[in-house]
Structure formats: structure tokens, C-alpha cells
């Protein structure tokens, strides 16, 4: 297996690089997010970039795309030196970036979004015919069919992702950068996207592909660059490294498999969360229970009603029917809304952490204080000392890196942002915690740490309800898995008998309903 390679090493294709980044560095405050990193990609190559959250991947890509000006280093596309910090210069040179967080305008149509920023006009008026023609050509190039006049707000998450890619392709780039493009896609949608990228690469497009999903890297990439703590660790041919070796390079250590069996002999405790006859948009007459010390998983395909169910249960969205109760210390309380759920010992980690889980422009300490105002106040006045002490203690519990609690939450990587969301609720020592996609978009190291926290909560007697589209995650964590389809629970599988085939058969309707198994 090769060691660190220089930027002038040519990939297996033998072609000259279309993009070369040399000795790029970028710091924020006193911390280097990217430190002396070099990268080169040739036409027709899909080059993977991997690393833990906070490794510097997204920062490096934003430098390449001209969004950030590097402190040191150069970026060259087809022999053209780019002016750092100038996105238009990078676009004109043929570099397009598809961000992890989509940047479409929901109220605008598909066609308008695809040509956003480059709308064809004449005498100040939009040339609608040209706009639709260019947009249709971009969608045809990625082999996706969608109504050009449909507002983006009405599209599925997957179609929005494909429209974002069409927007990049419409600019006829020489280099396409994708940052975690499959984070919100189903397995079938992911397969379609990967096939699309391979087709684009065969046409000569250079692709830089960032993903935490190691199987995807091995599926489509020819080379992979590893970053850790902002530094270049290695660049290797994908055929010369095993997945476990790649993960070890990412985290700087062997990632130990945890000794945990979700179906051990640990008896469940008393019922803490009980839901009966829940009806809400997307949910039809669902019953569910979670016991103390138990991890209950909710599986199913996207659109099955899992998020809608948990939001109705906790009172975040209105229920049209049904009752929910929380029982702790021998006292049962009806949940009439989200405030009553939280007051009576429930914590909720939402699916969209950046929208619903965090105040991104507030510090970590201030985010932690939001649901813990009672414990960080003195004589009714918030205590800065208590807030800081609580934030530091919880940052240590969740493994926040770096543990800078006075730093804005939005400045942290996705995995660390998720840790902040967990930290603020752990401060309340909840009796029941509901987690919706708890490890979406986080790296393998952060994922293992979040799994550890979830298990420690259950071992401590907390009732845990987990929604996840990551089937191996559900199988690894849950003591029992409820599978949803079309707003119903269509199967209940104890961990001892659950496997990927049984869960997917229920989720897709290939198996009959298995209620109460």
C-alpha cells in the first residue's frame, strides 16, 4: 500500500490533471481547518475524499470552488490559476460544487432553479424558451425526468438532489464536486446516483466525491485522498487498500467493534412511553410502546410515515386522534403537546439538526442552555458561569471536537453539530429520548461515539426510540424493530430474528404484515 503521494503523481488513467490544488492551507482563528493539502484529479476520474467530520473536506472543497480564499497554496484548472475567494472565477474556469446542504429556492420552478444565477435574458426579460431548453438538456444529461414547471417545494428530497446536480451540469463544468450527495437518499436512489456519476465520468468529467459511506467510495472511485485534522494523510489507488485500512487512516486508529448485543438477556423495564391510536397526516391508527432501558427502532422506506409518527407522538405536530402518556416514578402524565412532553422528561433529536435542532449562530454553550435554563439560573437570572460549566461537562460527555463551547454551533462539522444537539438534551437527564436519523451525514468515528451514547442512555434506564434509514444501524442498535409502510406499523421484529431481508420485505410490501411477532 502506497504512502503519501505528491500532487504531480498521475492517476492510473495517465491523463494530465484537469484540476491541481497545491499546498492549500486555510485557518479560522488559531485553528487550521486545512493545512498544506494537495490534490489532483484527471478527466474521467472519480476521486474520493474521505475523513472524519472536521477533517477539512468541506473547507477544502469551498476553497477549490472559490467560496473561501486560501491563506496559502494555489488552485489550477486546465492551466488557469484561480483567484482565491472568487466563486465566479471558479465557475468560469469550469468548476461546479454541489453542497451537502442544498441551495435551491423552494418557491421557484425546476427550470428556474437549474438556471439560477445564469438565467438567459433579453432586454431585461427572461427568455423562457431558452431557459426551459437548457434546463431540459441538463436533466437529459443526468437521465432524470421531472416537470420543468414544478415548484421545487413539491419535489421529493431525492428529486431536489438531482435538480441540484442538473444545475451544476448545466454550467458544462470540467470538474464536478459533490459533498455527501447520498446522505438523504434511499439505497435505490443512491444506486441510481452512483450509476449517473459513472456515466458522467465516462464522458470525460472529473469528479471529486466526498462521502462518509465507505462502500460508495469503493464502488465508484479509482483513487481516494484521506484527510485527518486538516492534513493530507494519504492518496491511494482504491484497488490497493481495504475498507478497514481506509477507516484506520481516517480515524488514526483501528476502529474497535463494540461488544454489544441488542438482544442480550437484559430484561426491559416498565413502560415509559405509550402511544395509542395515533392519527396524523401520514399516520393511520398506530400503537407503540417504549420501556425503560429499551431501544425501539422504527424502520421503513422514505415516506413510510416514521418521522410523522414520532412528531405526532411528542406533540411537535398535531394529532387528529390518539393518546400519548409518559410514566416515570409511578406517575403517568398525558402528553398534550411538545411543551408538556419536554416538561415531563422527553428529549427530541430531530431529523433536520441545522433547521430544527440548533441555533447555528449561537455558541455551543448558549445552545446547551436553551432547554436547561432552570439548572443554569441563579435567583431567576441566567448564570454565565453555570452555562459554561454545564456546556464543558456535556461537551466532554459527547466527545465534542474541538471542545470549544464559546464557538458558534454553525462553525462545527455535521457530526459535531449532532453531538451538540445530543449534549443539550443530556443536560436534562431525560426519561425518554426520541432520535430521528441520529447519525445521518456523520463520519464513522462520530457514528460509533453516538451509538455508544445511545447505548449508555439505555443502560442507564432511559427509554430510547430511534428512527433510522440506515438498516445496519437499526439492526445493530435496536432491541425491537417496528417496520412502517404507508403510515402503518406492518411488522414488529425482535432483534434476535431481525435481519436486512426481513425488514426490507416488510418495508417494501413483499412480506405479509407481522404484527406482534
pLDDT reported for residue 5: 35
Q: Is residue 455 in a domain?
A: no
- Asked if residue 383 and residue 435 are part of one domain, the reply reads no
Q: How many CB atoms lie within 10 A of CB 106?
A: 12
Residue with cell 431481508: 501
- Asked if residue 288 and residue 274 are part of one domain, the reply reads yes
* Tens digit of each residue's pLDDT (9 = 90 or more) over 269-279: 999 999 999 99
Domain total in the chain:
4
CATH (domain of 216)? 3.40.50.300
- Asked if residue 340 and residue 440 are part of one domain, the reply reads yes
- Asked if residue 325 and residue 300 are part of one domain, the reply reads yes
pLDDT reported for residue 130: 83
- Asked if residue 145 and residue 112 are part of one domain, the reply reads yes
pLDDT reported for residue 434: 98
- Asked if residue 326 and residue 468 are part of one domain, the reply reads yes
Q: Is residue 389 in a domain?
A: yes
Cell of 198: 459513472
pLDDT reported for residue 348: 97
Q: Is residue 466 in a domain?
A: yes
* Tens digit of each residue's pLDDT (9 = 90 or more) over 470-479: 888 999 999 9
Domain coverage including residue 378: 355-429
Q: Is residue 454 in a domain?
A: no
Q: Is residue 99 in a domain?
A: no
- Asked if residue 77 and residue 8 are part of one domain, the reply reads yes
- Asked if residue 436 and residue 508 are part of one domain, the reply reads yes
CB half-sphere exposure, 353, CA atoms < 13 A: 25
Domain-terminating residue out of 225, 255, 285 = 255
Q: State which residues of the chain have pLDDT below 50.
A: 1-13, 255, 257-260, 263, 515-517
Measured CA to CA, the distance from residue 205 to residue 123 in angstroms comes to 34
CB half-sphere exposure, 63, CA atoms < 13 A: 30
* Tens digit of each residue's pLDDT (9 = 90 or more) over 140-155: 999 999 999 999 988 8
- Asked if residue 144 and residue 131 are part of one domain, the reply reads yes
Domain-terminating residue out of 226, 255, 284 = 255
Q: Which residues contact 277 (CB under 8 A, 6 or more apart)?
A: 285, 286, 287, 321, 322, 323
- Asked if residue 179 and residue 45 are part of one domain, the reply reads yes
- Asked if residue 162 and residue 178 are part of one domain, the reply reads no
Q: Is residue 350 in a domain?
A: no
- Asked if residue 219 and residue 164 are part of one domain, the reply reads no
Q: Is residue 456 in a domain?
A: no
Number of H helices, E strands in the chain: 16, 24
pLDDT reported for residue 127: 73
Domain-terminating residue out of 149, 171, 193 = 171
How many residues does the structure list for the chain?
A: 517
pLDDT reported for residue 4: 37
Answer for the pair 346, 425: CB distance below 8 angstroms, yes or no: no
Q: Is residue 377 in a domain?
A: yes
Amino acid at each position: 500500500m502506497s504512502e503519501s503521494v505528491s500532487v504531480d503523481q498521475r492517476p492510473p488513467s495517465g491523463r494530465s490533471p484537469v484540476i491541481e490544488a497545491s499546498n492549500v492551507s486555510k485557518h479560522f482563528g488559531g485553528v487550521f481547518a486545512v493545512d498544506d493539502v494537495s490534490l489532483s484529479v484527471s478527466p474521467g476520474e472519480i476521486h474520493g475524499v474521505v475523513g472524519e467530520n472536521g477533517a477539512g473536506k468541506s473547507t477544502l472543497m469551498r476553497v477549490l470552488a472559490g467560496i473561501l480564499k486560501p491563506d496559502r497554496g494555489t488552485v489550477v484548472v486546465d492551466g488557469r490559476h484561480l483567484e482565491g475567494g472568487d466563486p465566479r472565477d471558479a465557475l468560469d474556469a469550469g468548476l461546479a460544487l454541489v453542497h451537502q446542504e442544498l441551495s435551491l429556492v423552494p418557491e421557484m420552478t425546476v427550470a428556474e432553479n437549474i438556471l439560477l444565477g445564469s438565467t438567459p435574458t433579453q432586454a431585461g426579460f427572461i427568455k423562457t424558451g431558452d431557459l426551459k431548453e437548457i434546463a431540459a438538456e441538463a436533466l437529459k444529461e443526468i437521465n432524470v425526468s421531472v416537470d420543468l414547471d414544478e415548484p421545487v417545494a413539491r419535489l421529493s428530497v431525492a428529486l431536489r438532489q438531482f435538480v441540484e446536480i442538473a444545475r451544476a451540469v448545466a454550467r458544462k463544468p470540467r470538474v464536478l464536486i459533490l459533498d455527501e450527495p447520498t446522505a438523504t437518499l434511499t439505497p435505490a436512489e443512491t444506486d441510481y446516483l452512483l450509476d449517473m456519476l459513472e456515466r458522467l465520468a465516462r464522458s470525460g468529467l472529473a469528479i471529486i466525491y466526498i462521502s462518509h459511506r465507505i462502500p460508495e467510495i469503493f464502488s465508484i472511485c479509482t483513487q481516494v485522498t484521506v484527510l485527518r485534522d486538516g492534513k493530507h494523510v494519504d492518496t491511494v489507488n482504491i484497488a490497493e487498500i481495504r475498507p478497514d485500512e481506509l477507516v484506520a487512516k481516517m480515524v488514526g486508529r483501528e476502529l474497535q467493534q463494540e461488544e454489544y448485543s441488542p438482544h442480550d438477556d437484559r430484561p426491559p423495564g416498565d413502560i415509559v412511553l405509550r402511544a395509542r391510536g395515533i392519527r396524523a397526516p401520514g399516520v393511520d391508527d398506530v400503537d407503540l410502546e417504549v420501556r425503560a432501558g429499551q431501544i425501539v427502532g422504527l424502520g421503513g422506506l422514505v415516506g413510510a410515515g416514521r418521522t410523522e409518527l414520532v412528531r405526532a407522538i411528542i406533540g411537535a405536530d398535531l394529532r387528529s386522534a390518539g393518546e400519548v402518556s409518559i410514566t416515570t416514578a409511578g406517575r403517568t402524565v398525558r402528553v398534550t403537546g411538545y411543551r408538556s412532553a419536554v416538561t415531563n422528561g422527553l428529549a427530541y433529536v430531530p431529523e433536520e439538526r441545522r433547521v430544527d435542532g440548533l441555533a447555528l449562530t449561537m455558541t455551543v454553550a448558549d445552545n446547551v442552555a436553551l432547554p436547561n435554563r432552570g439548572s443554569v439560573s441563579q435567583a431567576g437570572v441566567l448564570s454565565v458561569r453555570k452555562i459554561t460549566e454545564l456546556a464543558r461537562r456535556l461537551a466532554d460527555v459527547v466527545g465534542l471536537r474541538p471542545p470549544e463551547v464559546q464557538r458558534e454551533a454553525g462553525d462545527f462539522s455535521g457530526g459535531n453539530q449532532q453531538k451538540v444537539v445530543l449534549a443539550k438534551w443530556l443536560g436534562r437527564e431525560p426519561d425518554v429520548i426520541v432520535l430521528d436519523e441520529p447519525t445521518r451525514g456523520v463520519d464513522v468515528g462520530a457514528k460509533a461515539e453516538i451509538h455508544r451514547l445511545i447505548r449508555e442512555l439505555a443502560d442507564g434506564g432511559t427509554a430510547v426510540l430511534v428512527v433510522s434509514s440506515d438498516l445496519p444501524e437499526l439492526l445493530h442498535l435496536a432491541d425491537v424493530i417496528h417496520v412502517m409502510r404507508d403510515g402503518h406499523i406492518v411488522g414488529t421484529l425482535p432483534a434476535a430474528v431481525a435481519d436486512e431481508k426481513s425488514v426490507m420485505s416488510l418495508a417494501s410490501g413483499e412480506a405479509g404484515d407481522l404484527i406482534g411477532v
